[in-house]
Amino acid sequence: MREERESISGQGARGKILLVGSLDKAFLDAGSIGSEYFVACGDVRHGIRAASENEFAAIAVVMTEVSGQLISALKALRNAKSGTRIILLAQVYEEPIARQLVGAGCDGSTVADNYVICPLRSERLLKLTGLSRDSSKPELVSSATTDIDLERKIRHLEELATQDDLTGLKNRRYMWEFSRQVLEHAKTEKGQVTLLIFDIDNFKHYNDVYGHSTGDQILKQAAMLMQRCCRAHDVVGRIGGDEFAVVFWDVGRRAGYDVQTDRRSAATGHPRDAIFVAKRFMEELEKAEFHLLGSSGKGILTISGGLATFPRDAATVRDLFQQADEALLEAKRSGKNRVYLVGKPQSDISTIQ
């Protein structure tokens, strides 16, 4: 699709979606997207100008390609046309940031209204915004309520495919793909990624003695505690049984992701932040009261874990998971209730200030 460089008439824009950013990474059918329903502006400046001069059905912003100016670009688009919905087109690794951007800020305002995970087909974006290909002219075919219901249904199906049904955390498949993408991003941006893998010590004992229902409650409470300890953009997942994974990554101001709720940038050290979170989680476990384990439930739960960092310890997703898992096993062999850093010799994080 030819990018629009000049302002178009209001009549020509009505009922169309303004696409801001390069389309190749966002759409599976980027080469066949036509001008009947879409106006493409690869340059943010031209996108803001088009938004201010025309009435679009929606504005879709490709997060990956609006490098270094995402927040300011979204604010400018919102100011240019406050009544138009802004949809973020996010890669998997960008989802934590997209989720924050569509959430209400401290003043109740938002810079975006919704997000979808890429790559996707243009037809899906049309359906989400209430547009149809069924007629010769672009026109709205569903009410706002129907649009919202459709979005909820699609989001629910996505969650079923990527979410652990017991804890609500991300599942193993999602964690693997997220890690793969965020490592690619880190290579480009010279960032760092730290992976923590941990499991609950003696979990089989709790299942055998107290029953699987109690075991499930332990997993759910542990998941909730870990999420509370992590930063908003870190991703927590359950990757099997009582085994969990946390991906700590650089948000990076260079990429325009300096979200107001968390201003720590790529300058923060790895695995320093991960060590801090792991220590805080272990402290929270010591204070947590697991009533289903009886009067002695408080402080009884412990974990063992392993920390590995890209690019220092591993160059690929597979190696990163393997290194963290080996550190976890070493922590188990050394007496449990500890988290080890990858290295020779292994380092217990409790000894690190």
**Cα-Cα-Cα-Cα dihedral of 210, 214, 218, 220, to 10°?**
170
| 106/144 same-domain check | yes
Whether residue 259 sits in one domain with residue 178: yes
Which residue among 108, 127, 162 closes a domain?
162
Give the separation between CA 103 and CA 106, rounded to whole angstroms.
Answer: 10
Residue 71 CA to residue 189 CA, distance in Å, equals 18
Q: Of 104, 132, 162, at which residue does a domain stop? A: 162
Reported for 315-324, long-range contacts at CB under 8 A and 24+ positions apart, including other chains, are 316/183, 317/176, 317/179, 317/180, 317/183, 320/179, 320/183, 320/193, 320/195, 321/176, 321/179, 321/195, 321/197, 321/245, 324/195, 324/196, 324/197, 324/245
Task: Confirm whether 143 is domain-assigned.
Answer: yes
Q: How far is CA 68 from CA 141, 253, 263, in A?
A: 36, 7, 15
Q: How many domains does the chain have?
A: 2
Q: Are residues 210 and 339 in the same domain?
A: yes
Q: Going residue by residue through the chain (353 aa), what tens digit of pLDDT does each one get?
A: 544 444 444 446 677 999 999 888 899 999 888 888 999 998 888 999 999 999 899 999 999 877 667 888 899 999 987 789 999 999 999 999 998 889 766 566 788 999 999 999 999 899 888 876 554 444 444 444 455 555 555 555 566 578 999 999 999 999 999 999 999 999 988 889 999 999 999 999 999 999 999 999 999 999 999 999 998 899 999 999 999 999 999 865 444 555 444 433 434 567 888 999 999 999 999 898 888 887 777 878 999 999 999 999 999 999 999 999 999 999 999 999 999 999 767 789 988 87
Q: In whole angstroms, give the CA distance from residue 212 to residue 242.
A: 12
CB atoms < 10 A from the CB of 34, how many? 10
What pTM value is reported for the model?
0.82
